[in-house]
Amino acid sequence: MGYTSRQYNFFSEPIGNFSTAKDLRQRVMSAWFSSVQEAKTQLAVARSRVAHSEAQVRRSQAGLHQAEAELERMVIWASMNGIVIDRGVAAGQTVAASFQAPTLFTIGDLRAVNVEIAVDGPDICRLRLGQKVSFSVDAYPDRAFAGHITQIRKSQHTKESAVTYTVVGAAKNEDLLLFPGMTANSDIFTGDTPDALQVPNAALRYQPKGVPQPSGSHVWVPAGGGIRPVAVRVGVSMRA
């Protein structure tokens, strides 16, 4: 009787299946990890694009604000209400901003005017702020305008050895009769003494020849075919 010998490997197939499943799991995990990394990369790129877009929006807003400010500056507003006295530009002329901006218009409020008075050096010490001023102009010789002193400037002006100081008086001009540049003849009231006798300054300095000079202030008046001194008390003096 003969025997046939056969060998069976019962573990070869399962071992091969286990190895295939492990490889498949590793492949799946690798693919999942790659997908996650790719998604993270795409998220980072998207966030970068969002940040870039937001920066562009901020730059555009800044440009818009600058353009609005420049558009607002296109309109030139006067700093005060008044009447145009002089015009330095013509319609259509280009106006450019610079350190030395050109004068476009000279505007003044002619309802209130200032008069500049040249006062001699010996008289300037008698003036005070608020003293009354009366002046007239050649255009209206029969009308006197009233005002008061607002400035006593300390800067002297010398012309032909004569020193003068500028005193500024303010006056109302509701009727708009006074124009800039008019020449005015002014009187400043330094004092007021009612019911006082007024004599020329020359009368106080007069001294007849051959007659003794009395003491004190006096004036000479006619008396019995001659003259005699009369004592006086000098009050307010107005220089001629």
**Distance from the Cα of residue 89 to its chain's centroid:** 21
pLDDT tens figures, 28-41: 788 888 888 889 99
Q: Give the span between the Cα atoms of 105 and 88, in whole angstroms.
A: 6
Q: Give the span between the Cα atoms of 205 and 229, in whole angstroms.
A: 12
* pLDDT less than 70: residues of the chain: 1-19, 97, 237-240
Q: What is the pLDDT of residue 200?
A: 87
Q: What is the pLDDT of residue 239?
A: 58
Q: What is the pLDDT of residue 163?
A: 93
Q: What is the pLDDT of residue 34?
A: 85
Q: Are 188 and 135 in contact (CB under 8 A)?
A: no
User: DSSP labels for the chain?
Assistant: ---------TTHHHHHHHHHHHHHHHHHHHHHHHHHHHHHHHHHHHHHHHHHHHHHHHHHHHHHHHHHHHHHHTSPPPSS--EEEEE---TT------SSPPP-EEEE-TTEEEEEEEEEHHHHTT--TT-EEEEEETTEEEEEEEEEEEEEEEEEEEETTEEEEEEEEEEE-TT----TT--EEEEE-----TT-----HHHHH---TTSPPPSSSEEEEEETTEEEEEE----S----
- CA dist 64 to 52, 57, 175, 197, Å? 18, 10, 49, 79
15: phi then psi, degrees, rounded to nearest 5: -60, -40
Q: What is the pLDDT of residue 14?
A: 47
Q: What is the pLDDT of residue 218?
A: 85
- CA dist 85 to 82, 116, 164, 173, 181, Å? 9, 18, 29, 15, 11
Q: What is the pLDDT of residue 119?
A: 93
Q: What is the pTM of this model?
A: 0.54
pLDDT tens figures, 61-75: 999 999 998 888 778
